[in-house]
Amino acid sequence: MKARDVFNMFPAEALVDRPLPLEAFYKNNRMTQAGRDRFLRLCHSASIIYNITPENSRLKEVRRADADFLEIQVVEIGVKKKQIWWKDLDAFLCVVFQSIPYPVVCVLNYEDHDFRLATCSFHKRKADSAKNVVDEIYKGMWIDSMNIQAIDESLFECIKTPARWVTDLKLLYTSFQIALEKHHAAWSENKKVEKGIKCNAIRTHFTDIESTMIDFSKRDGKCDYYGDLYGEESERNARFAENDLYWQDHRQR
């Protein structure tokens, strides 16, 4: 499965598949050389996959004082790595969203194997209504295209189902945001469950070690001393293991 297959419910007329020069992002944002270097360190290519408009879909455009929904662009960005600190990733996505004067669904593609979806809420810039200011970013989690999980299937369904009944582009874009929020929440809940299972297994392991050492100490007549010593050590090791699991989880966000 490829990332673009998530959006195959749209008509063939909406499919663009056109390369997008990376210069379009940092020139439109008037980035400094340092900012440009940071941007290019994270990505190597970009393309517009879908361009959803009233002309190629049955959806109506929406014009509002704070934001316009005249079309939705699905943009695929080839990234150089998956492990990106969340603040750096948000800054990177802001550049992408603010460079295009339309609502954007960003598809982060890593080596045509893993992908991640993101959208944003935005409003018009007062000084230049043709440019948008990002209010909040909505991100799903990384999806292994060769190992689709149940929560990933739920995300795809949450994206495809509203597209069949919404009547305008704003409702469609909002449905993308809701779908990604649900995907992130489901992923986080799964991680909590997995962490709890791992922590229980670790505590059981060290408790078994503690029991074994107490049995040895009983034979030596040193039960109190060794029992306290190994009890404290097993508890300390369990806490270290829990902290390690926490930081592993934090790095993936």
Taking only the tens place, the pLDDT of each residue in 34-55 is 888 888 999 999 999 999 999 9
| Mean model confidence pLDDT for the chain | 81
Contacts of 133 (CB under 8 A, 6+ apart): 98, 122, 123, 124, 125
In this predicted structure, the answer to whether residue 69 has a pLDDT above a threshold of 80 is: yes
Report the pLDDT value the prediction gives residue 197, as an integer from 0 to 100.
Answer: 59
Among 131, 177, 176, 182, which Cα is nearest to 152's? Answer: 182
The angle subtended at Cα 194 by Cα 191 and Cα 198, nearest 5°, is: 135
Label residue 229 by pLDDT band (50, 70, 90).
Answer: very low
Kindly compute the dihedral angle of the four CA atoms of residues 225, 228, 233, 235, in this order, to the nearest 10 degrees.
Answer: 170
pTM: 0.75
The pair of three-digit structure tokens given for residue 128, joined into one six-digit string: 């230049």
Query: Of 43-52, 128-137, 180-189, 207-216, where does mean pLDDT reach its minimum?
Result: 207-216
Among 158, 114, 119, 121, which Cα is nearest to 140's? Answer: 119
The pair of three-digit structure tokens given for residue 213, joined into one six-digit string: 């050492």
In this predicted structure, the answer to whether residue 195 has a pLDDT above a threshold of 70 is: no
Domain range annotation of the chain: 3-150
**Average pLDDT estimate for 7-23:** 90
* Residue 228 to residue 220: CA distance in whole angstroms: 15
In this predicted structure, the answer to whether residue 88 has a pLDDT above a threshold of 80 is: yes
